[in-house]
Amino acid sequence: MKDRMAELVELLNEYARHYYVLDNPVVSDKEYDALYDELSELEKRENRVLADSPTRRVGGGVLKGFKKYAHKGRLFSLDKCRSEDELLKWIEKINSAFGAARYTAEYKLDGLTVNLFYKDGLLETAATRGDGITGEDVTAQITTVKTVPLSIPYKGECEIQGEVIMRKSALRAYNEKNPEDLLKNERNAAAGAVRNLDPKVTASRNLDVVVYGAGYTGEGARPFDTQTQIIDFLKRNGFRTPDYFEMTDDPQAVVGLVREIEAARDGLDYLIDGAVIKTDDLDLRGRLGYTEKFPRFAVAYKFDALETSTVLKRVEWQVSRTGKLNPLAVLEPAELNGATVSRATLSNLSEIKRKDIRINSRVFIRRSNDVIPEITGVAEHFADSVEVSPPDKCPSCGGMLKFDAVFIYCVNTSCRGVIISRIAHYASRGAADIAGLSERTVETLYDKLNVRTSADLYRLKIEDLTPLDGFRDKRAENIVSAVEASKNIELADFIYALGVENVGKKTARELAANFGTLERIKKASEAEIAALNDFGGVTAASVRGFFNDADNLKIIDELLSLGVCPKDFAVKQKSGGIFSGKTVVLTGALSGLKRAEAKAMIEAAGGETADSVTAKTNLVIAGEDAGSKLEKARKAGIEIIGEDEFKRMIKENQ
Ligand code: IVH
């Protein structure tokens, strides 16, 4: 049997080969780091290091097909610390040996290290780190990166270190343009692009290089004495430097800078995986020197991973309020940013196929803004990996399914699952907000009390509920009073509660704000709805379709007659609006506005709109090429304004 050390070395080397050489990681950084740390500990404890241990080298090997470049100054990687305590100890060690020092803090960019060699003011060579001593010459690839100056004012020889990154926005844009070549992760996308023998591929990825260091500076006097001066030097020479650069000589304040960087992390357009703390003074750096592998003058404070990988065990299909079946990934439990995750979202079957996600494969999961993380791609397939197959019947009612290009629907209008999720949605937070009506409770009400619509909730009496299992007096009372309280509801919440397909909280609010009353929303034409911000044709059609449906209208009428009273949206509908009491006619073409949008704006500002100029008309808004209506208004002496003036009035009134 192999001992643990040999096992770890073999595993890490295999993972590293996938990661560094093939740019095709099979585990997340977090898992790799954990095994690496375990190996380092073991090597320390047993005081031996195997010949092929990854701890002997700082990076991976050089790929065939690239020329080699011998770095003039060795490229080190950084020692890590993971807690405030470790960081303070690191600072204390330096301060007690050399006196209180000044420390700088920068983002630790998560990309691919690049070493840029300039001579006579021209970019001579760009190289990857390789093993820190020799790297791969990627000059042709890096030349395509627009943030790397091809010439600089400084004429001496120098090597500049930085990180090649792909911005999140660049990755999104790339994926939108190249749906057949989806990139999973910004770091791997940047690394893959630099290590590609075709510089056109590199160019297409829209990479960035951010530089933070200048090492070798040839013969003669060093042009800087501190990290601050290095950053200034780099800026002066036209480079991009880390967006965050702060300095302090107070050890506690260093911790504060790290926390500040951590807080900024989510909002950045690129990945950072920590903060780098460096002593500012370069002479002190010289005195501190290096260990076997790391400089003693800098340390990386690593943050928790926001991404990890785990095995997809199965896909469950959940029927939603609209009948659409949503896939839900059931995962081998994994730690992600401090929580155990066992479920993740998957959008739909074509997305699953496009990303080639299979059951029993290792997949990447990433924390998103939602509570539930998303699967971003595949890390590795195994022999027992199998494709995700679509369901052949509704998982709730066993009924027939309808497949369109992207989605799968249960077509049974009386499907138990659909009805339950519709009612649970009505009762949920942000909708009618009926406390105590979880999906579970709604199931009980469906099964035992024949509750079939949201209106039925308002017919429930305490004495109906008390006989049910688990419904003590208090619980029954609470539910009935929560139902009662929900009668007083904001129009926007009511619209959202109705569960119109494609209408979320934001769009519901917009409908309420622009049309003001339920009656107006019910009557709005598809074009009028489509003209609102955030509404496309699809959403407009589903709103119109919903209010054309006799069953839906019947439920709404029932809700109203049972006492549900959506409050008209009063904010923009105020009588003091700029067009209050005025009849406004639109004529000609408006350049930046759709006709229906302009109408909605006028109505929201208290005005009425009409199609023709009559004695009642108070104001005409004239766009391009306005014809006879404008003429008529002029003759009648009616006030006329142009599009710009109209927009200005609306803006000032908001
Ligand atoms: S300084 C001798 N500063 O993190 C000190 N490194 O393990 C050299 N990195 O591969 C590193 N952002 O490429 C430094 N602001 C930053 C950095 C940074 C990212 C990378 C670096 C290296 C790794 C350290």
Q: What is the DSSP string of 613-641?
A: --TT--EEEE-BT--HHHHHHHHHT-EEE
Ligand 1 atom nearest 161 alpha carbon? 13
Cα of 28 vs centre of ligand 1, distance in Å, is 19
Q: Indicate if 133 and 156 belong to the same structural domain.
A: yes
Which one of 212, 270, 301 would you pick to mutate in the ligand 1 pocket, going by the greatest count of ligand atoms within 8 A of its CB? 212
Q: Indicate if 104 and 194 belong to the same structural domain.
A: yes
The enclosing domain of 255 has a CATH number of: 3.30.470.30
Residues sharing a CB contact under 8 Å with residue 557, sequence separation 6 or more, in sequence order: none
The tokens describing 67, both together, are 């020329």
Residue having the nearest C-alpha atom to atom 21 of ligand 1 = 113
- 243 within 8 A of 260, measured Cβ to Cβ: no
How many angstroms separate the Cα of 179 from the Cα of each of 205, 354, 379?
Answer: 14, 8, 18
Q: Which residues of the chain have pLDDT under 70?
A: 1-2, 16-24, 51-52, 56-64, 368-371, 570-576, 654
Give the DSSP H or E segment for 490: strand 488-490
Residue having the nearest C-alpha atom to atom 13 of ligand 1 = 113
Ligand 1 atom nearest 129 alpha carbon? 10
Q: Indicate if 92 and 239 belong to the same structural domain.
A: yes
Tokens 């005409």 — which residue?
Answer: 620
The enclosing domain of 20 has a CATH number of: 1.10.287.610
Please list the residues that pair with 616 across neighbouring strands: none
The enclosing domain of 398 has a CATH number of: 2.40.50.140
The residues annotated with a catalytic role in the active site are 108
Query: Other CB atoms closer than 10 Å to residue 366's CB: what's the count?
Result: 20
> Which of 488, 467, 415, 473 shows the shortest CA–CA distance to 446?
415
> What distance separates the 2 farthest-apart alpha carbons in the chain?
101
The enclosing domain of 641 has a CATH number of: 3.40.50.10190
Q: Indicate if 255 and 271 belong to the same structural domain.
A: yes
Cα of 78 vs centre of ligand 1, distance in Å, is 7
Cα of 209 vs centre of ligand 1, distance in Å, is 13
DSSP label at 266?
A: G
| 348: exposed, middle or buried (Cβ count in 10 Å: 0-12, 13-18, 19+) | middle
The tokens describing 188, both together, are 């791997």
Query: Other CB atoms closer than 10 Å to residue 371's CB: what's the count?
Result: 8
CA atoms lying within 13 Å on the CB side of residue 7: 7
**Ligand 1 site, CB within 6 A:** 76-78, 106-109, 113, 163, 212-213, 242, 276, 295, 298, 300
What values do phi and psi take at 403, rounded to 5?
Answer: -110, 125
Domain boundary pick from 279, 302, 325: 302
Ligand 1 atom nearest 78 alpha carbon? 7
Residue having the nearest C-alpha atom to atom 4 of ligand 1 = 108
Per the structure, the count of domains in the chain is 6
Domain boundary pick from 470, 485, 500: 485
Ligand 1 atom nearest 80 alpha carbon? 7
Determine, yes or no, domain membership for 571.
Answer: no
Cα of 275 vs centre of ligand 1, distance in Å, is 9
State the pLDDT at residue 183: 85
What values do phi and psi take at 32, rounded to 5?
Answer: -60, -50
Residue having the nearest C-alpha atom to atom 18 of ligand 1 = 108
Cα of 212 vs centre of ligand 1, distance in Å, is 8
Residue having the nearest C-alpha atom to atom 12 of ligand 1 = 108
Determine, yes or no, domain membership for 35.
Answer: yes
Q: Indicate if 520 and 637 belong to the same structural domain.
A: no
Cα of 285 vs centre of ligand 1, distance in Å, is 15
Which one of 20, 81, 109 would you pick to mutate in the ligand 1 pocket, going by the greatest count of ligand atoms within 8 A of its CB? 109
Please list the residues that pair with 301 across neighbouring strands: 81, 275
3-state helix vs strand vs coil in the chain, percent to 5 = 40, 25, 40
How many angstroms separate the Cα of 142 from the Cα of each of 19, 21, 214, 265?
Answer: 20, 18, 17, 26
Determine, yes or no, domain membership for 576.
Answer: no
Cα of 615 vs centre of ligand 1, distance in Å, is 75
> Which of 263, 235, 230, 233 shows the shortest CA–CA distance to 107?
263
State the pLDDT at residue 271: 92
Strand pairing category for 583-587 and 619-622: parallel
> How many H-runs (helices) and E-runs (strands) does the chain carry?
25, 26
Instruction: Please spell the DSSP secondary structure of 165-196, one letter per residue.
Output: EE-HHHHHHHHHH-TTS----HHHHHHHHHT-
Each residue of 379-412: pLDDT tens digit?
A: 999 999 999 999 999 999 999 999 998 899 999 9
Strand pairing category for 298-302 and 272-279: antiparallel
Q: In what order do the strands lie in the sheet with 298-302?
A: 79-81, 298-302, 272-279, 103-109, 245-248
Which one of 40, 113, 273, 294 would you pick to mutate in the ligand 1 pocket, going by the greatest count of ligand atoms within 8 A of its CB? 113
Determine, yes or no, domain membership for 625.
Answer: yes
Cα of 280 vs centre of ligand 1, distance in Å, is 15
Ligand 1 atom nearest 76 alpha carbon? 2
Q: Indicate if 226 and 295 belong to the same structural domain.
A: yes
Residue having the nearest C-alpha atom to atom 22 of ligand 1 = 77
Residue having the nearest C-alpha atom to atom 23 of ligand 1 = 77
Output Rg (C-alpha) for the chain, integer angstroms.
Answer: 32
State the pLDDT at residue 60: 31
**Distance (Å, rounded) from C-alpha 287 to C-alpha 94?**
10
Domain boundary pick from 485, 504, 521: 485
Which one of 40, 77, 107 would you pick to mutate in the ligand 1 pocket, going by the greatest count of ligand atoms within 8 A of its CB? 77
**Distance (Å, rounded) from C-alpha 35 to C-alpha 375?**
23
> Which of 408, 410, 444 shows the shortest CA–CA distance to 424?
444
The enclosing domain of 511 has a CATH number of: 1.10.150.20
**Distance (Å, rounded) from C-alpha 193 to C-alpha 202?**
5
Q: Indicate if 403 and 460 belong to the same structural domain.
A: no
Which one of 80, 103, 108 would you pick to mutate in the ligand 1 pocket, going by the greatest count of ligand atoms within 8 A of its CB? 108
Cα of 155 vs centre of ligand 1, distance in Å, is 25
The tokens describing 400, both together, are 């027939």
DSSP label at 389?
A: P
Q: Indicate if 36 and 137 belong to the same structural domain.
A: no
Instruction: Specify the amino acid at residue 118.
Output: Y
Please list the residues that pair with 624 across neighbouring strands: 589
Q: Is 535 helix (H, G, I), strand (E, B) or coil?
A: coil
State the pLDDT at residue 395: 96
**Distance (Å, rounded) from C-alpha 274 to C-alpha 266?**
12
The tokens describing 147, both together, are 């943030």
Q: Indicate if 138 and 198 belong to the same structural domain.
A: yes
Residue having the nearest C-alpha atom to atom 16 of ligand 1 = 108
**Distance (Å, rounded) from C-alpha 397 to C-alpha 374?**
27
State the pLDDT at residue 601: 83
**Distance (Å, rounded) from C-alpha 575 to C-alpha 564?**
25
Strand pairing category for 358-359 and 362-366: unpaired
Determine, yes or no, domain membership for 170.
Answer: yes
Instruction: Specify the amino acid at residue 27.
Output: V
Ligand 1 atom nearest 107 alpha carbon? 15
Determine, yes or no, domain membership for 406.
Answer: yes
Determine, yes or no, domain membership for 125.
Answer: yes
Instruction: Specify the amino acid at residue 46.
Output: E
Ligand 1 atom nearest 108 alpha carbon? 12
Cα of 276 vs centre of ligand 1, distance in Å, is 7
Residue having the nearest C-alpha atom to atom 9 of ligand 1 = 108
Alpha helices in 499-627 (DSSP H): 505-515, 518-523, 526-530, 537-548, 550-561, 595-604
Q: Indicate if 588 and 641 belong to the same structural domain.
A: yes
> Which of 147, 166, 173, 161 shows the shortest CA–CA distance to 268?
166
For 326, the domain range is 307-410
Q: Indicate if 104 and 252 belong to the same structural domain.
A: yes
Ligand 1 atom nearest 295 alpha carbon? 2
Cα of 207 vs centre of ligand 1, distance in Å, is 18
Ligand 1 atom nearest 163 alpha carbon? 13
Determine, yes or no, domain membership for 385.
Answer: yes
Q: Indicate if 330 and 204 belong to the same structural domain.
A: no
Instruction: Please spell the DSSP secondary structure of 286-344, one letter per residue.
Output: HHH-B-SSSBSSEEEEEPPPSEEEEEEEEEEEEE-TTSBEEEEEEEEEEEETTEEEEEE
